[in-house]
Each structure stands twice: as C-alpha cells, then as structure tokens.
C-alpha cells in the first residue's frame, strides 16, 4: 500500500502556524513512508472560499518546503458526491429532514430539560408521506441526514455503539455513536457540508492516513460509519493537539492570527516555523532544524501530547536566531546578494555578523556600518574622547593580519593602562556606534586600516 495523505484546509483565509502544523505532520509522514501528499481544498462553502486564498495557501506551503504531489478542489468534484448521495439514499441511510434551525434549537432545549442527550431525535423519520407532501407544498426543502448505525432495529431506540480506532497520535480512541446526532450531509439548497465530500474524497483519492487536528475526533467516529456505509476500507487516523496563543485562545484563519504570511514578512525563516510547528507540544525538545530531512528524523506523531500546546511567537525569534548562527555563507549567499551584500567581503562579513542576527535582514545594517560607519555618530565624554583618539594613533601599519585586533589592543593596553570593558567599549562605540555586536577581531580586518582611521572621533 502506498501511503497517501492529504492536507485539506478550506480556502477561507491565510493559513496560520496551527494549520502549518497539520500540513507538516502530513508532509513529514509522507516523507518518512515515501508516500504521496495530496493538497485538497475543501471549498464546498462557496460563499466563504476564495481562489486567492487557495493560491496563497499553496504559496505558503511551498515557502515552508511542502510540495504536493497533486492538488484538487472539492468544488470541481460535486458529481462524485452526488453519486455517493444516491447510493446512500438507495441504502436507506440518508433521510430528508424539514426542521428549521429554530425548531431544532427548541427540541434540543426540551431534551436537555428531560435529561436526554442533546442529539437529534430522528423525528423526521416518523413523518408520514402526507406530512412530507404538506411540508413540500409549504415550500419547505429538505436537508439530508445520515442515519448513524447506532440501533438494533428501531432508529428511535439508539444504543451505545462504540467505534474504535488506534489513533496514530492518541492511541486507542472510542466514539459512541449514540452520543452524536445524525449528521446533516446535504443542505436545503443542495450544497454539501464538510462530512460527506471529505469521506468520498478520502476514498476516491486512496487516502491511507487521515492526519488532522483533534477538533475532528468526534467527526472521525461519524466518518468511519460513513466509510463503511459506502462500502469502503477505513483509513488510519491521527489527531494531533491544537496550538493556542499564550493566553490559551485558538488560532483562526479568518482573523489572520499568526499567519504564515505575517511570520514570513517578519523575517522568520521557514525552518524556524516548521521546527516549532512540529516539535512544540511533543516530548521532543523544540530545537532549530536546518532542513526538512533533519526535522523528519525528529518527527514522531506518537510523541505528541493530548493537551493543547501554548505557542509563544518569541520562541520563533529564538529559533530564528539559532538558525542564523549556523547558516553557512554558501546557503546565505544568494539571499544576501538580493540584500546588496556581495563581493569579496561578503563571506568574511557574513561569518563575522551571523552570530548577532535575529533575522537575515538584520545583516543589512551591519553591512552599512562596515561600509559607511556608525549609523549614528557616537558621543564621548572628554576623557574617553582623548583615550579613543590616542588609541587610534596606535593602529598598526598594514599589512593587517588576522591578529590585528589583538596586536592593536595590546599596544593600547600598555600605553593607557586600561583593560577589559574600559578598554574595549569605547573602541567598539567608535568603530560601530553600538555597545554590542560582532567580535571586533572579525570586523577590524573588514574595515581595513583606512576604514578604521575614518572612524577616529
Ligand atoms: N476542511 C477541514 C478542516 O479544515 C479538513 C479536516 C480534515 O482534514 O478532514 O478542518
């Protein structure tokens, strides 16, 4: 069996880091099993779905390093769902219902007060042909519910019916079909809700493993019943925990919170996003992984916790910084060139500054400091000014070697009697305009004797 997975967002907004977690779980699972990854857009809600969102989701996936083997849209597959509906009707497990939302709400309340579970009471099954005729004559159109197999012979007497599966993430799972309502599969206007198209596609597309958020655990019980009603093999399921903000709120595509696009424009590296999205809320340490292959080596769905994982965007910056520190010049070269950082000095420059960057784009201001001098002219107290000027007068002659900083500061130490911070800080300030930054031993050769002297205050 070829492992086949799918990522199935509805294109109703930009994806966020929580959606990326689902996509990455599927992608890494496919990578590990040399399987296929299908990008499926669940766009049966035509009012809210937009092509531009689908396009942006594909863009975000590519940026993360996910390259689907195939892409499809549910809105283009309606005929297949219509056929499945006919089969379910023929089998007698899809029945028309005429209740309005208000009527359903009232019934739910009555059931609650009677101590009954607030599930649909299957009243529509007791409608006579005449009653149906009258409702239709009144202009009512039916919505269609799937009759869950949770009874022996009388649907009005549902009994505990446990559906079991061995979840890739959560282990043994059970959903009691008597605890859920018969799901509406088709709306009054003939459009489809999520449940049926998802199952039909999973069958048609040969999905072997459905990996998604744990907000779908109950759906899975219902969908397993639907797979069986359609005479199909049931795939394996895995439900990962969801990510929340630090204050415990869920992430939403619609509000754009922590969107991949936002993180990208904030200069966060795709592998920082991927490392956090995959490793947070698992028993693995969250560490920066440089490549998807490396991340795949640490990916273990069964090590994922069952409770929601709180996610702090600050952690992304920490991971980003770590990725910058270990990013080789060969890997950074092209991106640096786009930022205007190129030429002979680009490589030693990169090696000097990368340890000080939160984001790759932070290299630009260091490049300016190296080429043009401090971004703001440093101010010195008179005593410091005199010290710095005297120090500059002791700059070694050319040619400069790798030890020039050491040679120079040794001379300054001897002449001034200063050491430690009192010696280095004023020099750093004069050279860079800042109190911290890359090793001066690395920067000085980049400035050259002439460039250094130009910074004499
Ligand atoms: N469109 C569904 C969602 O975004 C897909 C769930 C699934 O993977 O089956 O929640």
Q: How confident is the model at residue 294 (pLDDT cuts 50, 70, 90)?
A: very high
Strand partners, 6: 38
pLDDT at 117: 84
Residue boundaries of the structural domains of the chain: 1-96+147-326, 99-140, 327-372, 382-453
pLDDT at 330: 98
Nearest CA to ligand 1 atom 6: 8
pLDDT at 248: 85
User: What is the pLDDT of the chain when averaged over all its residues?
Assistant: 95
Burial class (CB in 10 A: 0-12, 13-18, 19+), 300: middle
> Which helix or strand (DSSP H or E) is residue 8 part of?
none
CA 414 to ligand 1 centroid distance, Å: 70
CA 212 to ligand 1 centroid distance, Å: 7
The DSSP letter of residue 190 is S
Q: How confident is the model at residue 258 (pLDDT cuts 50, 70, 90)?
A: confident
Burial letters 332-364, b for 16+ CB under 10 A, else e: beeebeeeebeeebbbebbebbbebbebbeebe
pLDDT at 253: 72
Fold type of domain 382-453:
Arc Repressor Mutant, subunit A (1.10.10)
The minimum-distance atom of ligand 1 relative to the CA of 202 is 9
- CA dist., res. 364 & res. 366, Å (int): 5
pLDDT at 250: 86
Mean pLDDT of 123-131: 96
- CA dist., res. 367 & res. 373, Å (int): 9
The answer to whether 253 is annotated as binding is: yes
CA 346 to ligand 1 centroid distance, Å: 46
Omega before residue 399 within 30° of 0, cis: yes
Q: How confident is the model at residue 323 (pLDDT cuts 50, 70, 90)?
A: very high
Mean pLDDT of 49-54: 97
Fold type of domain 1-96+147-326:
Rossmann fold (3.40.50)
Question: What pLDDT, in 10s, does the model give residues 180-216?
Answer: 999 999 999 999 999 999 999 999 999 999 999 999 9
pLDDT at 257: 65
Please name the residue that has the structure tokens 């599927």.
Answer: 26
Residue 364 pLDDT > 90, yes or no? yes
Nearest CA to ligand 1 atom 3: 9
pLDDT at 247: 87
Render 344-395 in DSSP notation, one character per residue.
TTHHHHHHHHGGG-SSGGGHHHHHHHHHH--SS-----HHHHHHHHHHHHTP
Copy the structure tokens of residue 6: 């799918």
The minimum-distance atom of ligand 1 relative to the CA of 210 is 8
Q: Write the CA distances from 389 to 46, 350, 384, 404, 415, integer angstroms.
A: 71, 29, 9, 18, 12
CA 301 to ligand 1 centroid distance, Å: 18
Question: What pLDDT, in 10s, does the model give residues 304-316?
Answer: 999 999 989 899 9
The minimum-distance atom of ligand 1 relative to the CA of 22 is 8
Render 55-121 in DSSP notation, one character per residue.
HHHHHHHHHHT---SEEEEGGG-HHHHHHHHHHHHHTT-EEEE---HHHHHHHHHHHHHTT--SS--
Residue 256 pLDDT > 70, yes or no? no
CA 68 to ligand 1 centroid distance, Å: 17
The minimum-distance atom of ligand 1 relative to the CA of 219 is 9
* Global pTM value: 0.92
Centre a 10 Å sphere on the Cβ of residue 301 and count the other Cβ atoms it contains.
20
Q: CA angle 404-406-411, nearest 5°?
A: 95
Cβ atoms of residues 19 and 9 within 8 Å: yes
Residue 255 pLDDT > 80, yes or no? no
Copy the structure tokens of residue 275: 């490392």
The minimum-distance atom of ligand 1 relative to the CA of 216 is 6
Q: Which residues line ligand 1 (CB under 6 A)?
A: 8-10, 42, 194, 198, 212, 216
Spatial CA neighbour of 286 closest among 276, 296, 294, 295: 276
Out of 9, 14, 22, mutate this one to test ligand 1's pocket (max ligand atoms within 8 Å of CB): namely: 9
35-44, 51-60, 61-70, 239-248: which has the minimum mean pLDDT?
Answer: 239-248
- Per DSSP, the three-state class of 132 is helix
């Amino acid at each position: 069996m070829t492992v086949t997975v799918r990522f199935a967002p509805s294109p109703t907004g930009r994806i966020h880091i929580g959606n990326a977690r689902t996509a990455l779980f599927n992608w890494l699972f496919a990578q590990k099993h040399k399987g296929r990854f299908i990008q499926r857009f669940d766009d049966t809600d035509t009012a809210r779905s937009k092509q531009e969102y689908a396009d942006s989701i594909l863009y975000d996936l590519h940026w993360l390093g996910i390259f689907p083997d195939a892409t499809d849209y549910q809105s283009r597959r309606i005929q297949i769902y219509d056929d499945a509906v006919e089969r379910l009707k023929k089998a007698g497990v899809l029945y028309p219902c005429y209740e309005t939302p208000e009527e359903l709400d009232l019934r739910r309340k009555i059931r609650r007060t009677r101590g009954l579970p607030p599930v649909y009471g299957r009243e529509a099954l007791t409608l006579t042909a005449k009653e149906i005729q009258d409702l239709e004559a009144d202009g009512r159109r039916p919505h269609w519910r799937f009759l869950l197999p949770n009874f022996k012979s009388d649907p009005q007497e549902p009994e505990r019916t446990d559906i079991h599966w061995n979840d890739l993430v959560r282990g043994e799972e059970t959903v009691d079909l008597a605890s859920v309502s018969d799901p509406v599969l088709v709306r009054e206007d003939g459009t489809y809700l999520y449940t049926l198209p998802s199952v039909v596609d999973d069958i048609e597309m040969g999905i072997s493993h459905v990996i998604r958020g744990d907000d779908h655990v109950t759906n899975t019980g219902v969908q397993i019943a639907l797979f069986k009603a359609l005479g199909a093999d049931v795939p394996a399921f895995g439900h990962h925990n969801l990510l929340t903000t630090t204050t415990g709120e869920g992430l939403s595509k619609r509000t754009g919170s922590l969107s991949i696009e936002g993180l990208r424009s904030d200069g966060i590296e795709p592998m920082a996003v991927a490392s956090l999205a995959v490793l947070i809320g698992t028993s693995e340490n969250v560490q920066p992984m440089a490549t998807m292959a490396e991340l795949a080596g640490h990916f273990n769905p069964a090590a994922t916790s069952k409770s929601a994982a709180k996610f702090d965007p600050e952690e992304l910056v920490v991971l980003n910084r770590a990725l910058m520190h270990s990013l080789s010049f060969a890997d950074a070269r092209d991106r640096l060139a786009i930022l205007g950082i190129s030429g002979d000095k680009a490589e030693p420059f990169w090696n000097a500054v990368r340890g000080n960057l939160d984001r790759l784009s932070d290299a630009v201001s260091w490049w300016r400091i190296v080429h043009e001098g401090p971004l703001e002219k440093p101010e010195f107290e008179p005593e410091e000014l005199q010290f710095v000027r005297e120090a500059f007068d002791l700059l070694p002659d050319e040619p400069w070697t790798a030890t020039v900083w050491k040679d120079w500061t040794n001379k300054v130490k001897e002449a001034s009697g200063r050491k430690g911070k009192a010696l280095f800080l004023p020099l750093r300030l004069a050279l860079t305009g800042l109190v911290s930054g890359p090793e001066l031993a690395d920067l000085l050769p980049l400035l050259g004797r002439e460039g250094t002297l130009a910074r004499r205050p």
